[in-house]
Amino acid sequence: MHTDSNGGHYILRFDNERKTNQRRRIMETNIVEVENFVQQSEERRGSAFTQEVKRYLERYPNTQYVDVLLTDLNGCFRGKRIPVSSLKKLEKGCYFPASVFAMDILGNVVEEAGLGQEMGEPDRTCVPVLGSLTPSAADPEFIGQMLLTMVDEDGAPFDVEPRNVLNRLWQQLRQRGLFPVVAVELEFYLLDRQRDAEGYLQPPCAPGTDDRNTQSQVYSVDNLNHFADVLNDIDELAQLQLIPADGAVAEASPGQFEINLYHTDNVLEACDDALALKRLVRLMAEKHKMHATFMAKPYEEHAGSGMHIHISMQNNRGENVLSDTEGEDSPLLKKMLAGMIDLMPSSMALLAPNVNSYRRFQPGMYVPTQASWGHNNRTVALRIPCGDRHNHRVEYRVAGADANPYLVMAAIFAGILHGLDNELPLQEEVEGNGLEQEGLPFPIRQSDALGEFIENDHLRRYLGERFCHVYHACKNDELLQFERLITETEIEWMLKNA
């Protein structure tokens, strides 16, 4: 095993050229460890965690290691790889520093967030998320993975962890007798490992050919055929990890694809699955000698990649409460729309979390540029798709694929609660091209978005004061670092002209 450092992201992997006899020796030793642990598990049937591990090891007896993973503010996995024999210790928890939730995109701790040296770099207990033990896309036969969640000193959920921020808002909706049903759609690009002659990113050639498609290919079945091997591997690994995903769809730009997750009433699992899907897509692309990116805008000339969230709402009888008996928009839906629209500009720091995210919001690039709503209209931020009253729902079309799904969902739920708690006016429905009509504009720079975010009293109340402080501090520090960089474009423009 070895550890690579790639811009602060720690990527653990095993040498793919392990000799067969070495692997066999490890397997033989490991099988004894597995048998011992399963035997110990029989004596502790009362533990749901123990039962989950027992079932997993019975199904995957060759497992040697397990990656235990936390998700930071950026949606990056942070964790470590433990021997399978150490799983029995995980039930009581393991320790990670609280500062794992005060990292910038490069994995550097931002001291201004107040979770690092100011607190003495304290550890916090992390406990396994039940039901999350699955094979790892890195090596599914021999490596498993399991999610962790952090708790505070008093045993309460750690309030800065994005998963816990979302869970708190989800429970508030449930306490009101409202049960969200959600689905996540993710767009991404496959890229050639080699840059073009000018040093820019480029689409990959179809495997085994010199054919490099540089034209729009939305819904192209032929393009799916060209990349069938990598897409099939993604589909197979998703099934192995119990990620409920549809097959890929070719999107608007060369090398761009979309994968949709099935709708579910388990909001946390929907986001867990979205992050697991992003990880396995990257790993499968590497396996096929390509890169995959969820960067919001990798190309200047092509559309960006988004994360669209579909949401409906049920009562405790399982009835969709977003439509009335005639199939029209219900009063509850109108309150939800008003709240989401009102908080949307201030939520942009979560929906568009990086400098590059704001390059995506341009006219003609299939992305809304202002807070708006409409029926069957892809030019608005909140689209109500076609369908019968049982499937009445909202598609939230603003977030980039680079965003943290827990925080995107938290922003949506904060908007819904805001609409329910306040008598807000709902703007007129957009008909026609929403990009050409007046609406509530989004901030167009990350600095503006961060300012609106931290100054919004409603967001701080719903998301939590400490979370908002930490998030703002980390993203603001990251932005300051970026703005200190001297780019090639600056040199080209200014060297001889300034």
Q: For strands 143-151 and 65-71, give the pairing.
A: parallel
Of residues 213 and 8, more confidence is placed in: 213
Residue with tokens 């079932």: 55
Confidence of residue 325 (pLDDT cuts 50, 70, 90): confident
Judge contact between 249 and 257, C-beta under 8 A.
yes
- Name the average pLDDT for the chain: 89
Which pLDDT score is estimated for 222? 64
Which pLDDT score is estimated for 16? 40
Of residues 422 and 120, more confidence is placed in: 422
pLDDT digits (tens, 9 = 90+) for 73-119: 999 999 999 999 999 889 989 999 999 999 999 999 999 999 988 87
pLDDT digits (tens, 9 = 90+) for 358-409: 999 987 777 999 999 999 999 999 999 998 888 999 999 999 999 999 999 9
Per-residue pLDDT at 270 exceeds 50: yes
Rg over CA atoms, the chain: 23
What percentage of residues in the chain have a pLDDT greater than 90? 75
Q: What are phi and psi of 277, to 5 degrees?
A: -65, -45
**pLDDT (average), residues 273-282:** 97
Six-digit token pair at 387? 């369908």
Judge contact between 435 and 387, C-beta under 8 A.
no
Q: For strands 373-375 and 382-384, give the pairing.
A: parallel
Of residues 272 and 301, more confidence is placed in: 272
Which pLDDT score is estimated for 416? 99
CA distance 360 to 445: 11
Per-residue pLDDT at 264 exceeds 80: yes
Judge contact between 442 and 345, C-beta under 8 A.
yes
Which pLDDT score is estimated for 390? 87
Judge contact between 307 and 206, C-beta under 8 A.
no
Which pLDDT score is estimated for 216? 61
3-state secondary structure of 258: strand
pLDDT digits (tens, 9 = 90+) for 21-30: 444 444 444 5
**pLDDT (average), residues 328-348:** 97
CA distance 127 to 435: 46
Nearest of 162, 166, 190 to residue 71 by alpha carbon: 162
CA distance 430 to 438: 9
Instruction: Kindly state the DSSP code that residue 113 receives in the 8-state scheme.
Output: G
pLDDT digits (tens, 9 = 90+) for 135-159: 999 999 999 999 999 999 999 999 9
Nearest of 456, 414, 466 to residue 166 by alpha carbon: 414
Which pLDDT score is estimated for 217? 61
Per-residue pLDDT at 46 exceeds 80: no
Give the CA diameter of the chain: 77
Complete domains list, the chain, with CATH: 2-152 (3.10.20.70), 171-491 (3.30.590.10)
Q: In sequence order, what are the beta bridge partners of 313?
A: 180
- Chain-centroid distance of CA 326 in Å reads 36
Residue with tokens 């994005």: 162
Alpha-helix residue ranges (DSSP H) falling in 288-384: 331-351
Confidence of residue 215 (pLDDT cuts 50, 70, 90): low
CA distance 302 to 293: 14
CA distance 175 to 190: 42
